[in-house]
């Protein structure tokens, strides 16, 4: 039994030694080298740059208060659409005590003066009808009477402006009613009922009652580096990708390139704007971030190959032209290249459609694509 086990052990040991030598021998043998094979084809090439930015309405207006007072009523809410001239809010005037006292005093003096002048005018009218006084004296008395009446009306209007912010004759179009200056959507109403507001003046910007914008006319606004701005020109097509809308793509047209740049993190950046063509069925909000793809150069139906298969040296540009689909046998073929889109490159001269070119070395089976 022991003799049998010994022979089995020796046989297994021998098999193991032989297998080891075979494995090491195989590892020392040269491995077959395979390559990607690239076919020369006709393609459409585009070179573009990506600009980050946001979308915003072309026309956005801050509606300011024209008089000082308190917000009495608000008729609209953010998100509602308004027409030009439509009322948004109402302001209640809080009169200044000194201005109120002066206006009341002026009104009383105007009333006293009118009563006095009226009595004189009535007396002169009676005397003139009896031919007692001259026409000139009568006309002078009448003029004073008319002036006194006008002064009383002015004093009443002044008191009405101080207390109500508008005269009785102009209540419908007065400054107490805040109206939209354009048709569009209300983006925000930063005030509430009871808030104090300041009027627009030489030393005050005035309180913003509402912000209104036309959301049917949107712009892409972004900044581009100085190294690329020189390739842009107005009218170039753009593609907008808005992340908040599930990366939907919209057409746009570049319409503005800033003539002056601003420095940002050591680089000069130039603002650009593009008119976005967004369907009415798509709801876009002010401030959505977006990326704009701007086509800098494009060529249609040109011979092209993968740029990785092109060898560029200081003296020449060439490819390794394959004689078959295995690319084991190649010849050096000088070529003339054109534009590149970063993946494929145009072949101006040196190759024809259908030629096979050796690409990068690979371990997978050779395939022609």
Report the CATH number at residue 276: 2.40.30.170
Instruction: Let me know whether 219 and 287 are in one domain.
Output: yes
pLDDT score of 367 = 45
Residue 163 has pLDDT above 80, yes or no: no
- Determine the 3-state secondary structure of 155 from DSSP: helix
Checking if the pLDDT of 30 tops 70, the result is no
Distance, CA of 174 to CA of 164 (rounded, Å): 10
Instruction: Please say if the pLDDT value at position 340 is more than 80.
Output: yes
Please state the three-class secondary structure of 175-218 as a single string. Answer: CCEEECCCCEEEEECCCCCCCEECCCECCECCCEEEEEECCCCE
Q: How many domains does the chain have?
A: 4
Residue 169 has pLDDT above 70, yes or no: no
Compute, in degrees rounded to 10, the torsion defined by CA atoms 106, 112, 113, 114: 110
The reply to whether 207 and 338 lie within a common domain is no
What is the pLDDT, as a whole number, of residue 161?
67
Element (H, E) at 149: helix 135-164
- pLDDT score of 329: 77
Q: Are 28 and 287 in contact (CB under 8 A)?
A: no
Average the pLDDT over each of 17-26, 186-195, 277-286, 342-351 and give the range with the smallest value.
Answer: 17-26
pLDDT higher than 60, residue 296:
yes
Give residue-wise pLDDT tens across range 92-139: 877 666 766 777 788 788 888 888 888 888 888 888 787 778 888 888
Length of the chain: 369
CATH number reported for the structural domain that contains residue 337 in this entry: 2.40.420.20
Do 185 and 197 reside in the same domain of the chain? yes
Give the Cα separation of 211 and 180 in Å (integer): 9
Q: Which domain holds residue 316?
A: 34-45+300-362
Model confidence at 31: pLDDT above 60: no
As a whole number, mean pLDDT of residues 245-254 equals 90
Instruction: Please compute the mean of the pLDDT values over residues 358-368 and round it to a whole number.
Output: 62
Neighbours of 46 (CB within 10 A): 15
Q: Cβ contacts of residue 182 below 8 Å, gap of 6+?
A: 59, 61, 84, 212, 214
Quote the percentage of the chain above a pLDDT of 70: 84
In a domain, 7, yes or no: no
Q: Are residues 224 and 208 both part of a single domain? A: no
- Whether 349 maps to a domain, the answer reads yes
**Over residues 143-168, mean pLDDT:** 76
Q: Residue 63 CB: number of other CB atoms within 10 A?
A: 22
Residues 188 and 142 in one domain: no
Q: What percentage of the chain has pLDDT greater than the value 90?
A: 25
Residue 267 DSSP SS3: strand
Rounded CA gap, 351 and 360, in Å? Answer: 19
Residues 275 and 151 in one domain: no
pLDDT at 212: 95
pLDDT band at 366 (very low <50, low <70, confident <90, very high): very low
In angstroms, the CA 218 to CA 56 distance is: 6
Q: Which residue's structure tokens are 């690319």?
A: 327
- Residue 144 above 90 pLDDT? no
CB half-sphere exposure, 80, CA atoms < 13 A: 13
Q: Residues 299, 346: contact at Cβ < 8 Å?
A: yes
Which candidate, 289, 247, 252, places its Cα nearest to that of 274? 252
Q: Are 150 and 285 in a shared domain?
A: no
Q: What angle do CA 256, 261, 267 make, to 5 degrees?
A: 125
Is residue 90 located within the same domain as residue 129? no
Task: State the average pLDDT for the chain.
Answer: 83
Q: Exposure pattern of 180-198 as b/e (b: 16+ CB <10 Å)?
A: beeebbbbebebeeeeebe
CB 239 within 8 A of CB 79: no
Tokens in use for 105?
């005093």
209 closest CA partner among 64, 94, 82: 64
Q: What is the CATH number of the domain that holds 127?
A: 1.10.287.470
164 & 194 share domain: no
Assess whether 243 and 306 both reside in one domain: no
The CATH number linked to 77 is: 2.40.50.100
Whole-angstrom distance, CA of residue 308 vs CA of residue 361? 11
Residue 367 within any structural domain of the chain = no
pLDDT at 257 (0 to 100):
94
Q: Which helix (H) or strand (E) holds 93?
A: strand 87-93
pLDDT at position 309 = 86
Handedness of CA 114, 119, 124, 130 (dihedral sign): positive
Pair 85, 118 in one domain = no
Long-range contacts: 26-31, Cβ < 8 Å, 24+? none
Residue ending a domain, choose from 271, 298, 325: 298
Structural domain contains residue 20 = no
Looking at the fold, whether 109 and 222 belong to one and the same domain comes out as no
């Amino acid at each position: 039994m022991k003799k049998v086990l010994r022979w089995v052990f020796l046989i297994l040991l021998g098999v193991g030694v032989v297998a080891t030598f075979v494995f090491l021998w195989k590892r020392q043998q040269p491995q077959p080298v395979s390559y990607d094979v690239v076919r020369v084809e006709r393609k459409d090439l585009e070179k573009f740059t990506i600009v980050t930015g946001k979308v915003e309405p072309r026309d956005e207006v801050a509606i300011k208060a024209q008089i000082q007072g308190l917000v009495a009523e608000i008729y609209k809410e953010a998100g509602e659409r308004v027409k030009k001239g439509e009322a948004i809010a109402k302001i209640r005037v809080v009169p200044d005590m000194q201005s109120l006292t002066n206006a009341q005093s002026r009104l009383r003096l105007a009333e006293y003066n009118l009563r006095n002048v009226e009595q004189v005018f009535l007396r002169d009218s009676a005397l003139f009808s009896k031919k007692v006084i001259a026409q000139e004296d009568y006309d002078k008395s009448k003029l004073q009477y008319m002036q006194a009446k006008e002064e009383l009306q002015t004093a009443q209007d002044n008191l009405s402006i101080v207390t109500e912010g508008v005269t009785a004759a102009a209540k419908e179009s007065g400054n107490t009613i805040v109206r939209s200056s354009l048709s569009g959507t209300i983006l925000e109403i930063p005030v509430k009922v009871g808030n104090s507001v300041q009027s627009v003046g030489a030393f005050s910007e005035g309180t913003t009652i509402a912000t209104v914008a036309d959301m049917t006319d949107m712009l892409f606004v972004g900044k581009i580096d100085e190294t690329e701005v020189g390739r842009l020109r107005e009218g170039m097509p753009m593609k907008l990708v808005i992340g908040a809308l599930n990366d939907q793509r919209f057409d746009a047209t570049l319409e503005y390139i800033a003539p002056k740049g601003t420095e940002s993190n050591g680089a000069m950046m130039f603002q650009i704007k593009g008119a976005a063509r967004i369907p009415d069925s798509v709801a876009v909000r002010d401030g959505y971030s977006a990326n704009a793809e701007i086509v800098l150069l494009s060529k249609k139906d040109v011979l092209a190959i993968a740029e990785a298969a092109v060898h560029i040296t200081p003296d020449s540009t060439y490819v390794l032209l394959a004689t078959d689909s295995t690319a084991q046998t190649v010849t050096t073929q000088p070529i003339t290249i054109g534009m590149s889109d970063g993946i494929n490159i145009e072949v101006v001269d040196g190759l024809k459609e259908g030629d096979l070119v050796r690409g990068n070395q690979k371990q997978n089976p050779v395939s022609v694509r």
